[in-house]
Structures are given as C-alpha cells and as structure tokens.
Structure 1
Amino acid sequence: MIARHGYALGLLFLAAALAAAGEAPAGALRLRYDFASVAGVTLADASGNSHAGTLEGKDDQLPQLVDTPYGKALRLEKDKGQGVRVPFAEDLVCAEGLTVMAWVKPENARSHLAIVANKGDRVPGQAVHGYRLSVFWNRAMMDLGFDDENAEQLTTPEWSVNAGYWTHVAMTFDGQHMVLYLNAAEAARKALPDPRKLSPNRRPFTIGKYFWNDAYPFVGLVGEVRIYDRVLTEGEVFRAAGEFLRR
C-alpha cells in the first residue's frame, strides 16, 4: 500500500497515472539498485555503471530479497547490522547536481532510519562531507556536507512518512536549493543564502545504515535506490518513481 499522507495520490490513481508517465531520464543515472538479483553477496548495479554493492550483516545474517507486488525488494531486519556497502566512486559525488531517491516501506518510522548514507554526523571542529537521505521520526530528511562544520539539513512535515506503507522518497540539490519529494510531489524546500558545492566523503556509501557503523538502521523493505548526477524535475522524479510500480 502507498503511504496515506497528504502527498499520496492513492494506490490505484498513482499507479494508473505513473503507467502513462513515460520513461525516466537515463543519461544522468549513476547508480540503480532494483534488487532483481544477487550473486552470492554481490548486488548488481542496474544503471550499467558497475557500482556493485556488497550485502552485509552481523554474524553472516545477510539481508534477503523478498517478493512484493512490485517485484523484488531488500528486507532489512532489526538488530542484525544489515545493509549494502558501495565503494566510493568519483561519479557518485554529484557535486554539480544531485538526485537521490528510493522506494521504502519502514516497519517503524519513529526513529532515524538511514536509506542512503555517505555523510557523517556533525562533530565540533571537524569538517562534514557527503550526503544522506533518511527517514527521521515520521519525516523524510536530507543532510549535506560542504567541507566545513556547517552542514545543512531539511525535513518534510511531521507524520509525512508512515510505518507499514510504501513511500517514494527523493532529494535534490542544485548548489543552492534543497528539495524533498514524497511520492513524487514536492514536500519541502530550502534555499541556502549563497551557492555551495557538495564536498566528497571518500568513505563508502551504505544503504540501510550509517556508513561508519551499524547506527541508524533501517528496518523494513527497500524496493529501489537511484542516484543521478543532476537535479531531476518534479516530472522526472514522477516518471522515475513510476518505473518501480510498473515492474
């Protein structure tokens, strides 16, 4: 079921609208995990850019692929340290323009659940790098680092992400404007006072948990993850979201 908040269109209407929406932009796509297949512990990158991921879990308790009405999804379970680790790559920095998106179905949204994590937490006296997309206490949240102590953050309104429902979450950044989308509709926007350039964090990316350790674990289903090296329009986000429902 699609999330039932103010940004949802309703499952039948959304699916029908997306079915006619056309194809998502492909040229700027840098990474795509559709979870269609796993070879051992290796997750293939469906974008064709060879960003294979590695499944992780405590004591070899790896996340599993499960069937959903929309195809395969990755199931992440509580207290098992599960996730996907992706080696750092220059073309995933996306400093000139960034879109990150995912279909998620959290079991409990009242926590900090990392979806895609490459940014560290703010520590006094240390520079912050990278970016992060999360569910944060029934909201979507994006974090950005700019090679100084002043990270930027944006969240959607309270209760805009609900447990037990599929939600498409997307973030974009063009150097000055931070935007969050829920189910392909703009849900939050923030303009920085001056243009800023994302700073690369040369540590790995992770899906489903913090890249440094097992903090901020996502518990539930992740249906698809994409990273683009440009800012997608709302219409392009809509079309990309629809490909999951049409699989």
Structure 2
Amino acid sequence: NADNLAIGIFGLEDGIPYWVTSDIAEVDIDGDLIETTIANINHDVFSSFTVHENRVLSSCQDINQNCLLIIEDRSAQGRGFIAPQLLEGLVGHWNFDEGAGMTVADLSGTGNDGTLYRLQEDDWVTNSTGSAIDYDGDKGYVNVLHDESLMFDGPFSVSLWVKLTTDPLSYKNGQPNWVPQFVSKSSWGADFRVRFWTGGKIAFATYGLSNSSLTTKNQVLFQDKYVHVVAVWDGVSKLIYIDGEENARFDGVTGQLAHLDHNLGIGANRFGSESFLGLIDNVRIYNRALTPQEVGLLYDIEFVE
C-alpha cells in the first residue's frame, strides 16, 4: 500500500548522513513492484529507484556514490536501511528477521534459503535490529544447500555479526568445540570458512590459496558483545575487518580456491560439528571484494546490540 510507504534519500559525507531529499514525486504499484521517482534532487547523481520486497534493483547512476535509501513501512512500523552499492555482487544475505519458523530466507535474490538443523523455535531471540539465532553449541546450525553461486574462482567477501554468550578464553575442545564455525563452506580442504580461534581471535580459512588461514592480530571476541566481522579475498590480499576497521592482512596471496559440492553451514560445519555457542546475525556473502569504504558503511547501517 503506497499510503504506508515512506522513502527518503540520505547522502554520506565523511561517514555522517545528511538529507538530500525526502520528497516523492510518484509512487506506482504494479503487483509486487513499487517504482518511485524522487523529486527535487540532482539527477546527475540520482535516478529513479525500483524497490521490490525491500530490495533496491536500480538506484544511483554512480554505483560508487555513497547514498542510503531509507524505506519505512509505516503499517508495520519497521524501517530498512539499504545502501544500493552494497547489493552489487550479493549472492547470499540472511538477516534472520523471521523471528520464528524453520527457514531463513536468502534476501539476495539467488534463492539460497537456509533450513534450521538441530535448532528449535525457542532458539530465535530478538535484538536491536530484529532477531537472530541463539546457537547452543550442540551441533545446531543453519544449512544452506550447495549452489554454484557460493563457489568462487576469484574475489569474494563474507560479512556477519557474532556475539559469544560465554567467555571466549574458556573455549576448549567439547565445551563447546574450541574452533567453532561461524560461516563454513569448507570441508576436507576445500573452499572457505570464517571461525573462532583460540584466545578470542577470528580465523579466515581458504583452501587452495597460498595463505590457508589468516587470524586477527588480537582478541576481538568478548562475552555478550556483538562484533562485526568481514573477511575479504581480493585476488591479491586476504583481509579481516572488525567493527568496520582493518585488523589483519596478508598480501601476495596466490592460487585459487579448491572446490567441493558441499553445503554452507552457518553456526557449524555441514556435519554439525565444530558448532558455535552464541548469536549470529545478518550474514552476507559477495562474489566480489568489498572495499574498505563499503565495509565501514555495512558496519554503520547494520549496527546491532
């Protein structure tokens, strides 16, 4: 219902949002499709926006323009923050805002929906942005079936929010598994995984590349605190960003990821082993390398507590 939809455009200057406009010249609804033409703006920068199921399909003429599209469904009293450039190359996006049920929808448009395995209805919890899964460390995970869109011969990025519900320094084998997986496409030496590492660190493992595992420089995980993690392979370097800032980097990496037709696990590997104890939210996977500016923008618009 167009009467329940409010749309505005923000610009970003040095990371600080400012209004460009809040006026809407036209809202046309054709089935599920909402087309909006924004009035009173610089059309050298902005064009019309097409919004489908809260996703921007076409937006800034300049894909590198730092702009935010704010979508507010007044009937549901909800608000979504969308940066158009952060949709480019998105092949998996699970925001866990279902809050119930046994399925986690993939919002990227590639159809990589996930299914809860060894998890229950009461494992859903609420947070400041909606909801998340509270993993119990007992082989529960979200299972995403294998798809070629999640196999990468070149650069890729993984983004997620994670919160431990126990002291990271007390992790040891079986209590729960001391190297639990956050996001894992890996098994038997193929593909990739982002996981916990001893001492409250995070590891980014890639199999087939000359650098198989990169870990953060210091402890970045603490009990009962959300942390934003982005792991990037840009074709030359492997990087880990924590809360929008680069933490670890390894340059001169060569090779290509090894592949096997394995499912993707969120919260454990595809067997349910190396399972995680804590919360995971807003997982994204890209078939390209996110830039430092995009990582910072993701941290700002997805901030959760």
TM category (shorter chain) comes to: 0.7 to 0.9
AA aligned to 1:208 is G
Is 1:113 matched with 2:180?
yes
**CA 1:38–1:160: 2 relative to 1, 3 Å:** closer
Aligned to 1:92: 150
User: C-alpha separation between the residues in 1 aligned to 2:241 and 2:300?
Assistant: 14
Aligned residue-pair number:
218
Is 1:183 matched with 2:233?
no
User: C-alpha separation between the residues in 2 aligned to 1:171 and 1:73?
Assistant: 20
Of 142, 145, 156, the residue aligned with 2:204 is 142
User: C-alpha separation between the residues in 1 aligned to 2:101 and 2:262?
Assistant: 23
Moved more, 138-147 or 179-188: 138-147
String of CA shifts for 1:85-112, please: whole Å, max 9, x gaps. Answer: 1111111112211100100101132331
Query: Displacement of 1:61 after TM fit?
Result: 4.0
User: C-alpha separation between the residues in 2 aligned to 1:201 and 1:238?
Assistant: 32
Decide whether the 8 Å contact of 2:240 with 2:248 is kept in 1: yes
Unaligned segments of structure 2, at least 5 residues: 1-13, 18-65, 69-82, 172-177
**CA 1:19–1:107: 2 relative to 1, 3 Å:** farther
Give the structure with the larger strand fraction. Answer: 2
SS at match of 1:112: coil
The two structures have a TM-score, normalised by structure 2, of 0.66
Aligned to 1:241: 299
User: C-alpha separation between the residues in 1 aligned to 2:16 and 2:196?
Assistant: 27
Aligned to 1:167: 227
Question: Percent of pairs identical after alignment?
Answer: 24
Larger of the two Rg values belongs to structure: 2
User: C-alpha separation between the residues in 1 aligned to 2:304 and 2:266?
Assistant: 23
Is 1:197 matched with 2:256?
yes
The two structures have a TM-score, normalised by structure 1, of 0.80
Aligned to 1:77: 136
User: C-alpha separation between the residues in 1 aligned to 2:150 and 2:280?
Assistant: 20
Aligned to 1:8: none
**CA 1:32–1:18: 2 relative to 1, 3 Å:** farther
